[in-house]
Structure 1
Amino acid sequence: MNLMQQLIALNIAKVRDRIRNAEEKYHRKPNTVALMAVSKTRSADEVRQAIAAGITDIGENYLQEALDKQLHLTDIDVYWHFIGPIQSNKTRAIAEHFDWVHSVDRLKIALRLNDQRPSGMPPLNVCLQVNTSDENSKAGVSLEQLASLAEQVDSLPHIQLRGLMSIPQASDQADEQQAAFAVLHHAFNKLQKTCNDLDTLSMGMSADMEAAIAEGSTVVRIGTDIFGPR
């Protein structure tokens, strides 16, 4: 095992320990929070080492970069998650090459993903990205429009609406982090009454995963604390 392999494996073990400790601290059932490795700007070899260390879910922000890595990793069975902004001209490739999309925030994109999902593949798992802080600079559907969008997306035959995702305003204060995640958790609980298959809360990154787990996160998206600073 080379130095890179050792470092990535050690980092993944540390992150898993943080997840387990947070699950225990916040009275979550053990092993209910999944770990996604976010590999934007990382090499296919680094992704391969993360998978060798037990990672089963890979998150990518940039389409062409992700497609290039997928070509180098065809021998590995892993779930690919698209978590970046989606342009209309990228939906076909996303629909064809990913298992999950976490960043759907408007009906136009959902319709294109639905129509372009190959018939031989299972429905595309989708999370709606929610702008919980009403920041103009942030992507995401507003809380006010969430229920309407969810109802429309939930009716599409080639998409499986699984949950919600957010990227809250950055803060180094745990109480502020948790308050931001609580907004999405509340919206999720409310939406579950009408969308029966919702089971995924995609929230929490390297700096705020504990706060996200406290508020019900089911998958944390970790890049820096696995691969190191970019």
Structure 2
Amino acid sequence: MTRNDLMAERLKAVQQRIARACEQAGRSPDSVTLLPVSKTFPVPCVQQAMELGLHRFAENRMQDLRDKSQALAIHRLDWVMIGHLQTNKVREAAHYASEVQSLDRLALAQALQQRLLLEERQLDVLIQVKTSREPTKHGVAVDQLMEFADQLSDFSQLRVQGLMTIAEHHADEQRVRACFAQLRDLRDRLQARGHTNITRLSMGMSGDLELAIAEGATEVRVGSAIFGERL
């Protein structure tokens, strides 16, 4: 079996997992988008994924997103930044990223706004929320989210689409699922507050996508289950 065949098999298995999870949750499979995470995988792996019909990829490091975007520029792919974004990297983010899912502080919003004005473009963003108690996780604190979302209304170049989170890494599924449930509740509260543009929930990865879908995920971020073991 070729590497292309292996990836095709893995991708099909992920799509089947999503479909089953949606069925169990009483949802349409079309209500959940798959975001392939190509971080740590080289350009040839992305090209293999492209041959399978994928055209939107997520990266964890701005340098990797930039390099892959440049290498595959003729294909007009969409690149999504999902990792912690430093303010000194906003120039590249504003130029190469089609979306940033890790907006987590006002200073970053301000830096992006200024650079996007120079680029004369708008950028889709998701607010990353810290639903986990793990100190290594990034994100806006739950008790600061409402105020932060209100402040973002002043940034004309940022199109706030929804929320993103990384659940707690724990063997207890209830603790993992609680992170996803909290994000859904926060989305609903923001909409009730008037932020009707905040609809998307990017949550769930290779190991916990079923739990995320059960709690309302509109997008799951999947890397190793598609590309194989991290390189």
TM over 0.5: yes
Match of 2:219 in 1: 219
Match of 2:24 in 1: 25
Give the deviation of 1:171 after TM superposition: 2.0
- For residues 95 and 25 of structure 2, the distance between their equivalents in structure 1, rounded to whole angstroms, comes to 38
Report the number of matched residues.
229
Match of 2:87 in 1: 88
Residues 216, 122 of structure 1: alpha-carbon distance in 2 compared, 3 angstrom cutoff:
farther
Q: Which amino acid aligns with 1:210?
A: E
Match of 1:203 in 2: 203
Pairing 1:180-195 to 2, within 5 Å after superposition: 180-193=179-192, 194-195=194-195
Unaligned runs of at least 5 residues, structure 2: none
C-alpha offsets along residues 136-178 of structure 1, whole Å, 9 cap, x if unaligned?
Answer: 3321110110011111113311010001111111123333322
**Percent identity between the two aligned chains:** 37
**Paired residues of 2:35 and 2:221 also in contact (CA < 8 A):** yes
- For residues 151 and 6 of structure 2, the distance between their equivalents in structure 1, rounded to whole angstroms, comes to 44
- For residues 10 and 135 of structure 1, the distance between their equivalents in structure 2, rounded to whole angstroms, comes to 34
- For residues 26 and 154 of structure 1, the distance between their equivalents in structure 2, rounded to whole angstroms, comes to 33
DSSP 3-state at the match of 1:86: coil
Match of 1:124 in 2: 123
- For residues 185 and 138 of structure 1, the distance between their equivalents in structure 2, rounded to whole angstroms, comes to 18
Choose between structure 1 and 2: higher helix proportion: 2
Pairing 1:5-154 to 2, within 5 Å after superposition: 5-117=4-116, 122-154=121-153
- For residues 100 and 80 of structure 2, the distance between their equivalents in structure 1, rounded to whole angstroms, comes to 6
Q: TM-score w.r.t. structure 1 length?
A: 0.94
Match of 2:229 in 1: 229
Give the deviation of 1:118 after TM superposition: 5.3
Unaligned runs of at least 5 residues, structure 1: none
DSSP 3-state at the match of 1:117: helix
Runs in 1 of length 4+ with deviation above 4 angstroms? 118-122
Give the deviation of 1:134 after TM superposition: 3.9
Residues 118, 39 of structure 1: alpha-carbon distance in 2 compared, 3 angstrom cutoff:
farther
- Between 1:206-215 and 1:110-119, the stretch displaced more is 110-119
Q: Which amino acid aligns with 2:36?
A: A
DSSP 3-state at the match of 2:171: coil
Residues 121, 226 of structure 1: alpha-carbon distance in 2 compared, 3 angstrom cutoff:
farther
Q: Which amino acid aligns with 2:78?
A: Y
C-alpha offsets along residues 22-77 of structure 1, whole Å, 9 cap, x if unaligned?
Answer: 11110112311000110111011101111221223200011111211111111213
What's the RMSD between the two structures over aligned residues? 1.5
Q: TM-score w.r.t. structure 2 length?
A: 0.94
Q: Which amino acid aligns with 1:117?
A: L
